[in-house]
Chains A and B, each alone.
Chain A
């Protein structure tokens, strides 16, 4: 059946894994994309958690600075931010290296991509996590405080587990945004899935085949992540009433 399909659409043979085909390149791009998305998501979660606690419990200056950070990042297109941060970060690191007497370094695309997308993700996850923390019943926190729990322990043992179930839908959305934002790194010349696809497409002239194949790969990431996040949400909602775990 596969052979009849290849006979009908000869360009499908270009997707083969071995060198005449470009399958290996696409898969390498896919791995790069997932790697960056995972890294940026992790960085974003760290920034987001810190930012959310800072916005809720920080002093007035911290709060205002965080408000500026989230507002600016959410108002400027990711593409522009990626360009600014990409040049600024590599420039700053190199100037620092030169000032300290070292030679200039070439920053790896993966590290720069993770840093840049992580800063963008951080702004969004700050808002998601802040909203989730606000939805934690106040009585739980008051009870913890009444028991004499120190603030850090309260955050770790009470706030984080309770806010997780509220945050999961928003965080799932952010993960999908992270995977799709990796495509923007194609513009700064990083060899992730979209750029690999474009290179394969322009050297073989089979544009439709390759872009459709890449679309299928992205869609697979989305669908698989949907299933995984569904599981995680079910796990995070365990023990809650009406969660559907028992019924």
Chain B
């Protein structure tokens, strides 16, 4: 019987391989159905044998946590990307007095752990600020006493550092002929940047942007270590309150996987919408 199944599977694979030219390969092959059934059994096992009775009580908190994680992700990628454009441009085409600091910034951000940067900003700067009366009396003080501005700032410069490196490559990768044509048409330099160079560079950076956003999502739970209550912090609190070890962590993993899936889908949709005929 085992041999029969192996033969059937071999047959499957062969037809599958021969079909790849004409039709897309079928997803529901025999072994995949078996694997899906096993996966469903495992999920059912988790649902019935593990403890989930804490879930209703913490549901509002979980919702808030997910919302804060998404908010952090959106805000920091947005501002980080806007910082990355001048960083990339300075490195790709700037004079040395702009290129050198930009390169140093990217090296430092990419060369040290985000956790360390976060703690440096929160504990280091946070302990430095109260020593200056001018800062303590300023309008910003109520914000500087909270944790989230430090979290936003650290995640933003982190994203800018990594994406700045990507943008440097993207700016350099824009075909020179495009820029020469624009220059030959007598376009002013700023207009070239706005209308030709930047759009083409962003188009080149787009495929990596999705991956960087997923990496940024995976960096957000670190803010829980400086008392920002994101979904990770909520899960930690559940674990501390109820002494349940695995279930909150499993929920956490599922939440992050779902968000990652949504990001990947969103970027695929976005990439398909951007017209690209760059051969």
Nearest neighbor of B111 in chain A, beta-carbon distance: A222
B31 beta carbon closer than 8 Å to chain A: yes
Number of interface residues of A (CB under 8 A): 43
B111's contact among A60, A74, A219, by CB below 8 Å, is which? A219
Find residues 57-99 in chain A having any chain B CB closer than 8 Å to their own CB: 59-61, 64-65, 72, 74-81, 83-84, 87-88
15 more CB-based (< 8 A) A-B contacts, given A80-B221, A222-B111? A60-B12, A64-B31, A72-B253, A76-B256, A77-B220, A84-B253, A180-B112, A180-B114, A184-B222, A194-B119, A198-B123, A202-B123, A215-B108, A218-B112, A222-B112
A interface majority secondary structure: helix
B221 pairs with A77, CB closer than 8 A: yes
Q: A61 to chain B: which residues have CB within 8 Å? A: 31, 35
B108: which A residues are within 8 A, CB to CB? 215, 219
Q: Could you show 17 A-B contacts with beta carbons less than 8 Å apart? A: A60-B29, A60-B31, A75-B260, A77-B219, A80-B252, A84-B249, A87-B245, A180-B112, A182-B113, A207-B119, A207-B120, A211-B119, A214-B116, A215-B120, A219-B111, A222-B111, A223-B107
> A interface vs B, CB < 8 Å?
59-61, 64-65, 72, 74-81, 83-84, 87-88, 176, 180-184, 186-187, 194, 197-198, 201-202, 205, 207-208, 211-212, 214-215, 218-219, 221-223
A219 to chain B: closest residue by CB:
B111
Interface size, chain B (Cβ < 8 Å): 44
Cβ of B187 within 8 Å of any chain A Cβ, yes or no, is no
Q: Check A208/B260 contact, CB under 8 A, given A87-B245, A214-B116.
A: no
A219 to chain B, nearest CB (A): 4
**CB <8 Å contact, A218 and B261:** no
Residues of A with C-beta under 8 A to B225: 187
Contact A183 B113 (CB under 8 A): yes
Residues of A within 8 A of B125 (CB): 208
Query: Nearest chain-B residue to A179 (Cβ)?
Result: B113
Most buried by B among A183, A187, A212: A183
Once the chains bind, are A75 and B214 in contact (CB under 8 Å)?
yes
- Asked if B257 is at the interface (CB within 8 A of a chain A CB), the reply is yes
- Give bound CA distance, A202 to B127, whole Å: 11
Contact B123 A207 (CB under 8 A): yes
Q: Chain A residues with Cβ under 8 A from B261's Cβ?
A: 75
In the bound complex, do residue B116 and residue A84 qualify as a contact, i.e. CB atoms below 8 Å apart? no
* In the complex, chain A residues whose CB is within 8 Å of the CB of B110: 176, 222
Whether the Cβ atoms of A208 and B31 lie closer than 8 Å is no
A-B residue pair count with CB separations less than 8 angstroms: 122
A52 vs B226: C-alpha distance when bound (angstroms): 38
How near does chain B come to A133, taking the closest CB pair, in angstroms?
Answer: 19
Among residues of B, the one whose C-beta sits closest to the C-beta of A211 is B120
A79-B116 contact in complex given A64-B31, A84-B246, A223-B111, C-beta closer than 8 Å: no
Q: CB distance A197 to B124 under 8 Å? A: no
Q: Is B135 an interface residue (CB 8 A)?
A: no
Asked if B32 is at the interface (CB within 8 A of a chain A CB), the reply is yes
Task: Decide: A79 and B222 in contact? CB cutoff 8 A.
Answer: yes
A154 vs B250: C-alpha distance in the bound complex, in angstroms? 42
Known: A75-B214, A211-B124. A80 touches B116 (CB 8 A): no
Residue B23, interface by CB 8 Å: no
Contact A198 B119 (CB under 8 A): yes
Which residues on the A side are within 8 Å of B218 (C-beta)?
Answer: 76-79
**Closest residue of chain B to A84, judged by CB?**
B249
State which residues 110-165 of B face A: CB under 8 Å. Answer: 110-117, 119-120, 123-128
Asked whether, in the complex, the Cβ of B13 is within 8 Å of the Cβ of A205, the reply is no
Q: What residue of chain B has the Cβ atom nearest to residue A216's Cβ?
A: B112
Question: Smallest Cβ distance from B7 to chain A, in angstroms?
Answer: 13
CA distance A208 to B122 in the complex (A): 10
Quote the shortest CB–CB distance from A40 to chain B (angstroms): 14
Contact partner, A218, options B116, B119, B214, Cβ 8 Å: B116
Partner of A219 from the list B112, B128, B250, B257 (CB cut-off 8 Å) is: B112
The answer to whether A76 and B116 have CB atoms under 8 Å apart is: no
